[in-house]
């Protein structure tokens, strides 16, 4: 009887998703449904609660490392890999919508284009968006792990990428893991050095976007000039 009730609950969750999508689910139900596909013969509601108790939020569950997930009793390798795969597939899906040829006319458009590249980043990363003279995206490159100071150290790589793409304009972007999307003094100083280097190559640094937790700040809109 207990097994029949359990199977009926799984069927109800699947049917709910088919009819109404994930927006109709609580965080517990969403994790419960996901875990069903890695753990076929156990009440995954208990495990969903255990994950949220451990990591405190749905977002932190999804951004946890595989080794951290496996520390939760009942979450084995298959479940941990599935959670990580779901997160990374979501990130790739969002990045795949960032198409070459997209025209960037404003800092808002630049930020919206770049945000998916920083989804679930737990450490600082830097990106270089290369564009032609009309503002059309040529390519978007991962530069380095670390702050803009690290980008400054990778100046030759940055220049090589911009020249290879025959870029007329570029936009830098990096994320803050502190949760505050405000440029630091180091950000400002590193940006000025990069802008000066690019001017010698006849390439314009249009902006530097600072990203944090789904939000972003444009250094140019904040009054920075270089």
Length of the chain: 226
Please report, in tens digits, the pLDDT of each residue of the chain (226 residues total).
Answer: 445 556 788 999 999 999 999 999 999 999 999 999 999 888 899 999 999 999 999 988 998 999 999 999 999 999 999 999 998 888 788 777 668 899 999 999 999 999 988 887 778 888 999 999 999 999 999 887 765 555 555 778 899 999 999 999 999 999 988 878 888 888 898 899 999 999 999 999 999 999 988 889 999 999 998 8
The answer to whether the CB of 172 falls within 8 A of the CB of 209 is yes
Maximum CA pair distance of the chain? 76
Q: What is the pLDDT of residue 102?
A: 94
**Tokens of residue 104, six digits:** 């960037």
Give SS3 for 115.
helix
Full DSSP string of 36-70: HTT-TTS-HHHHHHHHHHHHSSHHHHHHS-HHHHT
């Amino acid at each position: 009887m207990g097994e029949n009730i359990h199977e009926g609950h799984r069927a109800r969750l699947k049917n709910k998703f088919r009819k109404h999508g994930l927006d109709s689910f609580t965080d517990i139900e969403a994790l419960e449904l996901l875990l069903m596909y890695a753990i076929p013969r156990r009440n995954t509601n208990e495990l969903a609660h255990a994950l949220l108790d451990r990591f405190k939020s749905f977002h932190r569950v999804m951004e946890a490392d595989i080794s951290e997930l496996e520390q939760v009793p009942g979450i084995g390798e298959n479940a941990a890999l599935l959670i990580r795969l779901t997160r990374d597939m979501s990130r790739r899906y969002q990045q795949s919508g960032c198409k070459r040829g997209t025209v960037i006319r404003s800092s808002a458009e630049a930020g919206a284009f770049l945000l998916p590249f920083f989804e679930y980043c737990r450490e600082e990363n830097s990106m270089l968006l290369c564009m032609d003279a009309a503002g059309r995206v040529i390519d978007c490159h991962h530069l380095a792990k670390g702050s803009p100071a690290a980008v400054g150290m990778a100046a030759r790589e940055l220049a090589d990428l911009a020249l290879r793409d025959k870029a007329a304009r570029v936009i830098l972007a990096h994320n803050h893991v502190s949760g505050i999307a405000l440029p630091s003094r180091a950000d400002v100083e590193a940006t000025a050095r990069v802008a000066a280097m690019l001017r010698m190559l006849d390439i314009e640094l249009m902006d530097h976007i600072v990203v944090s937790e789904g939000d972003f700040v444009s250094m140019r809109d904040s009054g920075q000039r270089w």
